[in-house]
């Protein structure tokens, strides 16, 4: 895929610092510019070469949706993902109508952002990180969709590293989900987790 050159438009300094820290540790990403105000985004785009814009929905000046429309008009070759704390279907649909290629909730683990962006570069997605398959309507133990996806991958004998690559998560996040699975199901080992996965037909939710 090569190096992905990213522009970050985010008004919260703490969030910007966290994202910069993550990108500094990833070889195939380069943060080529950042703005904290929507009015500054297009002037910056004229000064840098970017492949991707990570765009906050709620920006001072021109808001994220206004910026998105302008980017679609002037830089149609640049992919844009919205970064937002707003989990509202109308806002998400509006973003996609205006040209967004992805919509990432700020609840995402920052270390999962590079994988999320790689996935958006390859195809359009709405919520990240993705779960890798549809979870059953209800499961004993109250597992979340993400935990089900990790458990489904585990059922095929995949390592934490392989699960992370398949679901576009960091290994740290995979370990976090597995700890939650063990706690919720009252188990202590991968063997017990595998038994649960087979008993509840979770193997079909992950590629072999």
- The model's pLDDT over 59-108, given as tens digits with 9 standing for 90+, comes to 999 999 999 999 999 999 999 999 888 777 788 888 888 889 888 888 78
CB distance 177 to 132 below 8 Å:
no
Q: 170: domain CATH number?
A: 1.10.10.10
Q: Is residue 174 part of a domain?
A: yes
Residue 18 shares a structural domain with residue 118: yes
Total structural domains within the chain: 2
Residue 10, pLDDT score: 95
Write out pLDDT tens, residues 171-189: 888 888 888 888 888 888 8
- Kindly tell me the sign of the dihedral angle through the C-alpha atoms of 101, 106, 107, 113: positive
C-alpha span between 22 and 124 (Å, rounded)? 22
Q: 84: domain CATH number?
A: 3.40.50.2300
Domain C-terminal end among 72, 88, 122: 122
Residue 36 shares a structural domain with residue 101: yes
Residue 70 shares a structural domain with residue 106: yes
Q: What string of DSSP letters covers 23-62?
A: HHT-TTEEEEEEESSGGGHHHHHTTS--SEEEEESS-SSS
Write out pLDDT tens, residues 6-36: 999 999 999 999 999 999 988 889 999 999 9
Q: Quick count: other Cβ atoms within 10 Å of Cβ 208?
A: 8
As a whole number, the mean pLDDT across the chain is 82
């Amino acid at each position: 895929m090569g190096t992905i050159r990213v522009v970050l438009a985010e008004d919260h300094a703490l969030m910007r610092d966290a994202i910069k820290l993550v990108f500094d540790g990833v070889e195939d990403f380069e943060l080529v510019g950042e703005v904290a105000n929507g009015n500054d985004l297009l002037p910056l785009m004229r000064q840098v070469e970017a492949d991707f814009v990570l765009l906050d929905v709620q920006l001072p000046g021109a808001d994220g949706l206004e910026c998105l429309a302008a980017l679609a008009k002037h830089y149609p070759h640049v992919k844009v993902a919205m970064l937002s704390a707003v989990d509202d279907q109308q806002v998400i649909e509006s973003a996609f109508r205006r040209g967004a290629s992805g919509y990432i909730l700020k609840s995402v683990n920052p270390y999962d952002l590079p994988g999320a962006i790689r996935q958006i570069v390859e195809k359009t997605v709405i919520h990240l990180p993705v779960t890798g398959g549809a979870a059953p309507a209800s499961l004993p133990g109250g597992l979340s969709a993400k935990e089900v996806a990790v458990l489904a991958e585990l059922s095929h004998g995949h390592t934490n590293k392989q699960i992370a690559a398949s679901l576009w998560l960091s290994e740290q996040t995979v370990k976090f989900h597995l700890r939650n699975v063990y706690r919720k199901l009252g188990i202590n080992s991968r063997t017990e987790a595998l038994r649960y996965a087979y008993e509840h037909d979770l193997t079909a939710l992950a590629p072999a």
